Amino acid sequence: MPQHNYDPKAVTVSIPVFTKGDYEFIVGECKAFSGTNAEGNENFGIRWPMKVAKAVDEGDEGAVDKRTLYSCYMNGGAAPFGKAFAMACLGYQRNEEGETAFDEDYGDRDWGFNSDNGICGDGWKECIGKRVVGAVSVRMDPETGRKGQQWEGFRPLTQ
């Protein structure tokens, strides 16, 4: 077998927790997932890698160029969060007019996803490469006491 040189300093395994504020994110390639939560219930959705393009509205400038993940759960009552995220990525306001326009323009796309192979439909893929503003805060996990990211919501870049 040929020699392979690995540089652990060239990769990152941790996900940063950004301070409270708004950040402009560049949305990466989506991948469907499924699993079981701590209570033993099935959960599923779409995971989005994102990179901070810039800090806005009290965001930390030190976060620029850092990467994170947004897990958009789609089970149970969480399904509206997926639509809100897609609407923001595609430039629609989260209001009645924005939702009506989004439904007319994108409602008939393929919004399916397969958590066995990770494939997402063309509707979701429209979000790849788009920029979106995400409002975040920090939460403490009551079981572990560790800090985690709390996603407060998303809005179009042009708001």
Residue 9 within a domain: no
* β strands within 9-98, DSSP E: 21-27, 31-36, 42-56, 67-73
Residue 33 within a domain: yes
Residue 8 within a domain: no
- Where does the chain have alpha helices with state H? 79-89, 96-106, 122-125
Residue 29 and residue 128: Cα distance in Å, rounded? 6
Question: Collapsing DSSP states into helix, strand and coil, what is residue 118?
Answer: coil
pLDDT tens per residue across span 89-110 = 999 999 999 999 999 999 999 9
Residue 35 within a domain: yes
Our count of domains for the chain comes to 1
pLDDT tens per residue across span 9-27 = 888 888 999 999 999 999 9
Residue 137 within a domain: yes
pTM: 0.89
The answer to whether 81 and 72 are in contact (CB under 8 A) is: yes
The residue segments making up the domain with residue 113 are 17-156
pLDDT tens per residue across span 106-125 = 999 999 999 999 999 999 99
Task: Count other C-beta atoms under 10 Å from residue 72's C-beta.
Answer: 24
Question: Collapsing DSSP states into helix, strand and coil, what is residue 68?
Answer: strand
Residue 11 within a domain: no
